[in-house]
Amino acid sequence: MTSAKKILCIGAGYVGGPTMAMIASKCPHCRVTVVDIDPERIAAWNSDELPIYEPGLDQLVAAARGRNLFFSTDIEAGIRENDIIFVSVNTPTKAFGLGAGMAADLQYWEKTARQILAFSESSKIVIEKSTLPVKTALAMERILNSRVNGVFFDVLSNPEFLAEGTAVRDLEQPDRILIGSRETESGLKARETLAEIYANWVPREKIITSNIWSSELSKLVANAFLAQRISSINAVSALCEKADADVTEVARAVGMDSRIGAKFLNASIGFGGSCFNKDILNLVYLCRNYGLEEVADYWESVVKINDYQQERFIRNMLGAMFNTLAGKRICLWGFAFKANTSDTRESPAIFVTRRLLEERAEVVVSDPKALKNARMDLAGSAGRVSYVEDPVRAAEGCHAIALLTEWDLYRHLDLRKIFETMEKPAFIFDGRNLLDHRRCFDIGFNVYPLGKPPLTHF
C-alpha cells in the first residue's frame, strides 16, 4: 500500500469522474477530489443521478463519495490543497482558425495550466490525462515552470484507454497503464509516485513507462489502429455486398489468424465517439505539420472510409425504398454511438438523421438511454423528428427501421408484432448486423444487413 496522498482531478467528465472514483475505491488511504467549472455537472456527481451512465459506476461512486471522494467547484482550493493533479479537461477539435476541423482546441487546457500556476503554493506532480497532441506536455511544463518561486512541477503523461460502456471494468482490469515522464531524477521519481498509486490494484508488469512523447503518441496511435480496423472491415463490407460474400464470415475467417485477432472486426454503420475522429485528425495534423503528407493521407483515409460508410447506408436505404424517402416515416433503433452508453458524441446516428431529413423523411428516434442527448444534437435540425423511448411503439406506422446502435434489447423484441403495425412493404436496415435476418425476412420484412446480400420479397 502506498502512503496517503492528496489527489485532485480537474475536469469531471467521462474520463475524470470514473477514473477518480476507481482510484478512491482502490486507495482508501488517499483523498481524491474532482473539480469542474460547471456547477450543474458537479451537483449531478453529488446526486443520485450521475451526469454519465456507465454500468457499475453508481455503486463505485456511492461507496467512496463523502469518504475519500469529493466533487467540488472550488478549483482554487483544490489546486492549493493537493499534491498530485490530474488534468482531464476536454480538448475538442478546433472549430476556428488555423487547423480548424483537425487540430485540438487547447484553450481549456491552457487555461487550466495557468490556473495551476496561479494557485499553487507548493511543488506538484501534474498529470496529463486528456488526449492531447504530442509535445503538449512540453508546453504545459513551460507554462508551469515559467515562474521561479520555489514551486516546481513535474509533468507526466498518463493516457486513459478506457472505453465507454465498459469504463469501470477497463479501469479495474486495464490492459496496461502507461506513464510517460522526463528521464530526469525528479521526472523518474514523479513517475514512480504515480505508478505506486496504480500498483494498489494493477499488477506491476502491466504498468509500463516511457518518455513523455512516446506516451502521448501511443494514445493517438492506439485509437488510430482501432479505428483503422473498423474502417478496414467496413470497406470490405461494401465489397461483400457487391460480391455476394458475407462480411461476418470473412471477419470470422480473418480474425482467427492469431496475428490479426478477432476483436474490433464488426462491420457497422461507422465508428463514433469522442475519441476516434478527434485523435486521428490530430495525428493527421501532426504528420502534416512535419511534412509527412503520405503518412497523413494514409491515416486520413480511415476517417474518409468512415464517412463513406455512413453515406453508403443512406444510399442503400434510398435505393431499396424506390429512390424516395420523402414523407416516409423511418424509425431509428439506437442513437448512442455504441451500446451501453448515453453518449452520442460523433454518433453516426446524427449524420443519418440529418441526411434522412434532407431527403424529407420523418424520423422517429428511439434509444433506451440517449434520447436526452439526441434532442440536444438535433435541436437545430429543420424537419420532423419525434422521440419515443419504446422501440416497439417507435416503429408503429413506420415504413422502415434503421438499427444504428447494438443495444441488446433489440435482439429480444416481438418482431412479428412490430411488423404488423408498420406500413408495407416494411424494411429493416441493420447497421450493426444484430438481428436474425432470416427470421425478419420470414416474418415479411425486406432485410438489408451490412456486407451481406439483402433478403427481399420482390
Which residues have a catalytic role annotated? 275
Residue 273 as a binder of ligand UDX (CB under 6 A): the answer is yes
Could you give the CA distance from residue 242 to residue 258 in angstroms, rounded to a whole number?
28
Q: Which stretch binds ligand UDX (CB under 6 A): 49-57, 154-162, 366-374, 440-448?
A: 154-162
Q: Quick check: 247 binds ligand UDX (CB under 6 A)?
A: no
- For the CB of residue 375, give the shortest distance to ligand UDX in the complex, in Å: 20
Q: Closest separation between CB of residue 118 and ligand UDX, Å?
A: 30
Give the separation between CA 257 and CA 407, rounded to whole angstroms.
28
- Which conformational region is residue 124 in: left (phi greater than 0), alpha (psi within -120 to 50 degrees), or beta? beta
Out of 93, 157, 215, 266, point to the residue binding ligand UDX (CB under 6 A).
266
Q: Judged by CB under 6 A, does residue 275 bind ligand UDX?
A: yes
Task: Decide if residue 268 touches ligand UDX (CB under 6 A).
Answer: yes
Least spacing, CB of residue 274 vs ligand UDX, in Å: 6
Report which of 337, 278, 351 is spatially closest to residue 308, judged by C-alpha positions.
351
Contact pick of 179, 265, 325, 422 for ligand UDX (by CB under 6 A):
265
Q: Which is nearer to ligand UDX, 112 or 268 (CB)?
A: 268
- For 356-424, give the DSSP string: HHHTT-EEEEE-SS-HHHHHHHTTT--S-EEE-SSHHHHHTT-SEEEE-S--GGGGGS-HHHHHHHS-S
Q: Which stretch binds ligand UDX (CB under 6 A): 85-93, 96-104, 273-281, 362-370?
A: 273-281
197 versus 230: smaller Cβ distance to ligand UDX: 230
CA pair distance 273, 292, nearest whole angstrom: 27
Q: Which residues contact 184 (CB under 8 A, 6 or more apart)?
A: none
Contact (Cβ atoms closer than 8 angstroms) between residue 386 and residue 366: no
Q: How far apart are CA 25 and CA 61, in angstroms?
A: 8
Q: Does position 16 bind ligand UDX by CB under 6 A? A: no
CB closer to ligand UDX out of 195 and 226: 226
160 to 179, contacts with ligand UDX by CB under 6 A?
160-164
Total Cβ atoms within 10 A of residue 215 = 22
* CA separation, residue 221 to residues 32, 161, 216, 288 (Å): 30, 11, 9, 15
191 near ligand UDX, judged by CB under 6 A:
no
213-232 footprint of ligand UDX as x/- string (CB under 6 A): ----------x--x---x--
Q: Choose between 43 and 256: whose C-beta lies nearer to ligand UDX.
A: 256
Q: Which residues contact 287 (CB under 8 A, 6 or more apart)?
A: 293, 295, 296, 299
List the beta bridge partners of residue 128.
87, 157
Q: Scan residues 125-144 and list those touching ligand UDX (CB under 6 A).
A: none
List the grid coordinates of 262: 478477432
- CA-based diameter of the chain, in Å? 79
Site track 335-374 with ligand UDX (rule: CB under 6 A), x = hit: --xx------------------------------------
Q: Is 254 in the site for ligand UDX (CB under 6 A)?
A: no
SS3 348: helix
Query: Which grid coordinates belong to 409?
Result: 434489447
CB of 247 to ligand UDX, least distance (A): 11
Nearer to ligand UDX, 274 or 446 (CB): 274
Does the footprint of ligand UDX cover residue 35 (CB under 6 A)? no
Residue among 349 and 385 whose Cβ is closer to ligand UDX: 349
Window of 20-28, 157-165, 287-295, 390-398 that interacts with ligand UDX by CB under 6 A = 157-165
Which positions touch ligand UDX (CB under 6 A)? Answer: 160-164, 223, 226, 230, 264-266, 268, 271-273, 275-276, 337-338
